[in-house]
Amino acid sequence: MTMRLLLPTLLLCLPLAACSNTDSNKTDPATGKPAVDADSIGKKVKDATDKARVEIARGNIKISNDQNDKAEITPQGDLLINGKAVTIDAQQRALLLDYRKQVEKLAGAGMDIGVAGASLGVKAAGEALRGVFSGDTQGIEEKVNAEAAKIEASAKQLCELLPTMMAKQQALAAALPAFKPYATMDQSDVDDCHN
């Protein structure tokens, strides 16, 4: 998966995972219908992201280029292209490890935003249902918008990681020619994130 697709994919998957879990033993007091347990969903989403963090930390980070050629960066800082290790020196390994840490940091920030988004979705749905059945819909939109503003602020912080990531990618591509075809991030990626 390309870096361009990694974060949007994570962000889309987390809310879907959250919405697929309900606790059939609990009911909403206002409706008597099965309730969506935000705490249970939050825990399941957190467990899934914790597992994903471990996989990212321990596994190879896969990257591809515009021609869909595959490469991987191992946890030890090796570069594999089509499964074969590229000969690297100590400086190149250090750059690969530095770039890999930035990828992990960016993916972690994306997962945090996904968890917050999933939690907000569950809370918003619960507030809306309670409002519909109780007739008290005042303030629901304001509560949801206040929480959404926090998530938007986190997303802006994630965008602030991109210039550093691009700089690390460019430094790696300059020092390791075999990596250059995979250094596909450019200024438009940074700009698009802010939009």
Q: Tell me: pLDDT of 67 over 90.
A: no
* Cα–Cα distance measured from residue 183 to residue 95, given in angstroms and rounded to the nearest whole number: 13
pLDDT at residue 2 in the model: 42
* Cα–Cα distance measured from residue 49 to residue 180, given in angstroms and rounded to the nearest whole number: 30
| pTM given for the model | 0.66
Greater confidence (192 vs 43) lies with 192
**In the chain, what's the furthest Cα-to-Cα distance?**
68
Give the number of other Cβ atoms within 10 Å of residue 91's Cβ.
10
| pLDDT tens by residue, 108-123 | 888 877 777 767 776 7
| pLDDT tens by residue, 79-101 | 999 899 999 999 999 999 999 99
* Cα–Cα distance measured from residue 177 to residue 129, given in angstroms and rounded to the nearest whole number: 56
pLDDT at residue 136 in the model: 65
